[in-house]
Structure 1
Amino acid sequence: MAIYQAVAEWSTDLTFYAICTVFIAFIAYCLYVRHIHAKYDHIPGPPRDNFLLGHIPTLRKATTSDFVIHDRFLEWTEKYGPVYRLYGFHYVTIVVTCPETTKEILMSPKYTKDPLVYKRIFNLFGLRFLGNGLVTAMDHDVWYKQRRIMDPAFSSSYLRGLMDTFNERAECLMQHLEEIAEEGTIAKMHRLVNCVTLDVICKVAFGVDLDLLKNPDSPFPNAIELCLQGMLHYFRDPFFRLSPWNKKKVQEIQDAVKLLRTTGAKWINQRRKAVENGEDVPKDILTQILKTAEELKVDGEEDHELMLDNFVTFFIAGQETTANQLSFAVMELGRHPEILKRAKEEVDEVLGTRHDIQYEDLGKLTYLTQVLKETLRVYPTAPGTSRWLHEDMVISGFKIPAGCSVLFSSYITSRMEKFFKDPLTFDPERFNPNASKPYFCYYPFALGPRSCLGQTFSQMEAKVVLAKFLQRFDFSLVPGQSFDIKDTGTLRPRSGVLCTIKHCLKSTS
């Protein structure tokens, strides 16, 4: 009996000590948070929602509602100026819209990507996701080695050779739209262009034909959608995974990550065998991924995972932003008949009735280029990027202590009257070759050494698809639909851009 009593007393003591330890740790952490915040409280910014959580409740609310968080950032910029601070626990983010600082930081390789942001998408709910791929690599030397190896797959000579694929996949969309026009049904443009851009990246990057317009049951579009949802929750809601109500959604996201990485492993192994058998293989992204391992002269488990990191990176990034840009462009053209008329006239002048678009044609479609650039100004599909401040810095007169993230948002600066007159007005003339150019406040593909490798690829593809569409079809937006933005991490049209379409009244060849 005495033994049981001793054990009970001992257990009680352990519980008491554990509670005391947790309480002391909590108090210590609160003091640490207060210390960190005190270093940055001289910088203007919105009041915290909560002492410990900082501004996380605002981010969580935006994630679960129809509100676009970037609009709140824009409001805060207009209220607090070109530099302000946000808190989340002990983590500090400085939002900057000053062009000079944007240039200084983004154009320099010494400012690394924010490790607390990009390390979060190394894994996604416990599964390796983007890992150490080209977008997420923190170390400049590691990134540079990968970028140098990938460059040939995006050289101008190689991109010229992709015109046949761009034409081919865009023609598949035109044929599908012809059926919709004949049937008199509604064209859901975002879904359709999403199929095309995913088809293109799979064909030119990995040598695989998905033909999603004919195979709508493919699991890949939904897998990408789930991964984007997962990243959004991962960034803005640290408590998402802890909720039992989200268990099913977390599992779906994990299954999506597994599907993409399993598919990547399968396609990489098929290409590796083709190379070993001496078969001719294209100089595409998949070949460059294999070349990475060959040049580094390593083939361990981590190197295999790195190849999959880059596969998933290009699989998602290679289609998502282009599809969103095309959808927004169609939406704005439908809302502005005078701009649509001018764009169609240019397409007719350059192409006539010729369906095959040549590389040389792209440079002649100057107004269409302006339309696409203006689309990315109003709707930057990847709205921002961040860098880590590893040394003290003065920004707009404020001393910013080292050890924080600096957020740059093309969405914010592109919608500021300070930089663009009547910023919410869709006006392609802003990008007329003779117009004055914005100074480090328009960067939909980021800036400097870590700018998007695929931006030329993306804009070539967008121009081919949009030119063919305007050449062949007249369209109007279905009345009553929303023109709002849906924030999925990337930005897309909430309505999906619903159109009624019909054949243009002119001869075709």
Structure 2
Amino acid sequence: MAILSALWVWLPQILPLSLGLSFLVFLGYCIYIKYLHLKYDHIPGPPRKSFLFGHSPILMEVMKKDGVVHDKFLEWAETYGPVYRINILHYVIIGVYCPEATKRILMSPKYPKDKFLYKRLFNLFGQRFLGNGLVTAQNHELWYKQRRIMDPAFSSLYLRGLMGTFNERAEKLMERLSEEAENNTEANMLHLVNCVAMDIIAKVAFGVELDLLKSTSPFPKAIETCLKGMIYYIRDATFEYKPQNWPFINEVRDACRLLRSTGAQWINERKTALQNGEDVPKDILTQIIKSAGQEENMSKEDEEFMLDNFVTFFIAGQETTANQLGFCIMELGRHPDILEKVRKEVDEVIGMKREISYDDLGSLTYLSQVLKETLRIYPTAPGTSRTLLEDMVIDGIHIPGGVTCMFSSYTSGRLETFFKDPLKFDPDRFHPDAPKPYYCYYPFALGPRSCLGQNFAQMEAKVVMAKLLQRFDFTLVPGQSFDVKDNGTLRPKSGVLCTVKYRLNQ
């Protein structure tokens, strides 16, 4: 009681001092923001919506309307040119669509991934998410050590050995589509390829059978929740402070915990097998364990580090490939002439074979073009960013160091500057004899930090698409949207609803 009485006496004197200090801190913060405005406002850019929050309210308006933030970036690039400025609180972000600067920055290891974005990916609302995994590690030495250890799991020799699993899982999709054809029911193709992609990454990366086409799992929902939480955590500076959002924030935290607890279980099972001298595959899970040095006495941070890479590969290995397949099916359904051409190639290369070989994939040239064109218009992982540590001149504009440079493959892939009639789906842009896009097409990023799993993903996509085209006719259900849903990654909003029938010659 004596302590409470003392506080009651002193509170009137303490409160004004506390409020005064808070005001001074806030005033100092506002002065710092004004200083940044003066430092970078010579760079073209849209008017800020707010002094404090900058352009964040504009991005929030797009998200509230279920739009695609990258369409706003495209609009700004078309209006303000290949270099423009975005302000969010005390962060300054420079959108860059100049091929020479893209080459210079992304191809060099001297420009680290930016702290603003990748610190937000370390955890979601206080719950560890991607941590310091291969995608998010900012320190080059830390990243390089992980990449060197992971490389064997993505070597061409190892990938050749995965063809059996790719074929097996794709066959399960064909069985499911046979049921849809026989029952004359609508197939949600995005959902089905999501199941297959997750089955594949679980099997080939972690040695786990999920069989999602026949059973349910909490993982797809958990991944979707994490990705949705991620975009709000990155783009909305006030999201976590609004009470109406707290139930969703708790769902995001629970989803993160589910993925990491699952990873801990699978890692421990594999470590036990290694300790018992059992034969284990040279897969991603084994490499994750090696990345921690296989120490007998693991520290808490070592355990978390392994889980960082588990979550990174589990999400990245499933989400982007499935969405690419969904967009590819959608565009082929909209373009019967292209569909017929790619199907003719599949018939010539694959014929009636049920087992597609690694060499067959190299002969599916036009299918490769279709998949590349899909990623030009719909890069499922739409961008990347780097920190500019020193001053640089980009397209004649002086950029003071200390800012984030944002590179959006979605924006560059839809700019008339780089691609004639950019919204036209035209696989011939990627014909072997066509000019190569010059640092304006990078769905897997570029340089040393480019996606380690890009060959894995495109092999998987080719096997699934080849079997689908070999076996079935599919027609888009009329009336559905062809819009894009921005959920951190990009996906077809409609789900790509199709009616499926057996091909007559099958």
TM-score (norm 1): 0.97
The 2-side partners of 1:12 and 1:134 are apart by 52
Alignment deviations for residues 449-497 of structure 1 (CA, whole Å, 9 cap, x no partner) = 0000000000000000000000000011000000000000110000000
* Aligned residue type for 1:300: S
Q: Which residue of 1 aligns with 2:505?
A: 506
Structure 1 247/4 Cα, relative in aligned 2: closer, same or farther at 3 Å? closer
Which residue is equivalent to 1:263?
262
Task: Return the offset for 1:23.
Answer: 1.4
Q: Is the CA contact 1:37–1:90 (under 8 Å) kept in the aligned structure 2? A: no
- Give the structure 1 partner of residue 12 of structure 2: 12
Aligned positions of 1:102-501 closer than 5 A = 102-215=102-215, 217-294=216-293, 299-501=298-500
Q: Is the 8 A contact 1:133 1:310 kept in 2?
A: yes
Structure 2 vs 1, CA of residues 455 and 6 (structure 1 numbering), >3 Å: closer, same or farther? closer
| Cα deviation, residue 236, structure 1 | 0.9
SS of residue paired to 2:404: strand
**Any idea what the Cα deviations from partners look like across 1:9-55, whole Å, max 9, x if unmatched?**
63212111112111111111111100011100000000000001000
Query: Contact 1:63–1:232 at 8 Å: present in 2 too?
Result: no
Q: Counterpart of 2:70?
A: 70
SS in 1 for 2:434: coil
SS at match of 1:120: helix
What secondary structure does 1:39 align onto?
Answer: helix
Contact 1:201–1:319 (8 Å) recurs in 2 = yes
Name the amino acid aligned to 1:372: L
Code of the residue aligned with 2:162 in structure 1: it is: L
Instruction: For residue 66 of structure 1, report the CA deviation from its aligned partner.
Output: 2.0
Deviation at 1:238, TM superposition (A): 2.1
Q: CA deviation at 1:387?
A: 0.1
Number of aligned residue pairs: give it.
504
Instruction: Specify the SS of the correspondent of 1:119.
Output: helix
Give the superposition deviation at 1:244.
1.4
2:53–2:237: 8 Å Cα contact kept in structure 1?
no
User: Residues 7 and 353 of structure 1: is their aligned pair in 2 closer, same or farther, counting only changes over 3 Å?
Assistant: closer
Letter paired with 2:424: T
Structure 2 residue ranges without an equivalent (≥5): none
How far off its partner does 1:102 sit?
0.1
Task: In structure 1, give the amino acid aligned to 2:399.
Answer: I
Residues 409 and 296 of structure 1, relative CA distance in 2, 3 Å threshold: farther
SS in 1 for 2:138: coil
Aligned in 2, Cα 1:96/1:298: closer, same or farther, shift over 3 Å?
A: farther
State the alpha-carbon separation in 2 of the partners of residues 189 and 4 from structure 1.
65
Distance 2:353 2:139 in 1: 48
Cα distance in structure 1, aligned partners of 2:376 and 2:6: 72
Runs of 4+ in 1 over 3 A off after TM superposition: 3-10, 295-298
1:62, 1:69 within 8 Å by CA — same for their partners in 2? yes
Code of the residue aligned with 1:44 in structure 2: it is P
Structure 1: gaps spanning 5 or more residues? none
TM, length-normalised to structure 2: 0.98
Q: Percent identity?
A: 65
Asked whether the 8 Å contact 2:112–2:387 carries over to 1, the reply is: yes
Question: Separation in 2 of the partners of 1:400 and 1:152?
Answer: 39
Q: Report the residue type matching 2:205 in the other structure.
A: A
**What's the CA shift for 1:64?**
2.1
SS state at 1:210 partner:
coil
Q: 1:113 to 1:474 in 2, by over 3 A?
A: same
After TM superposition, list the pairs within 5 Å mapping 1:52-91 onto structure 2.
Answer: 52-91=52-91
Provide the rounded CA distance (Å) in 1 between the counterparts of 2:259 and 2:225: 11
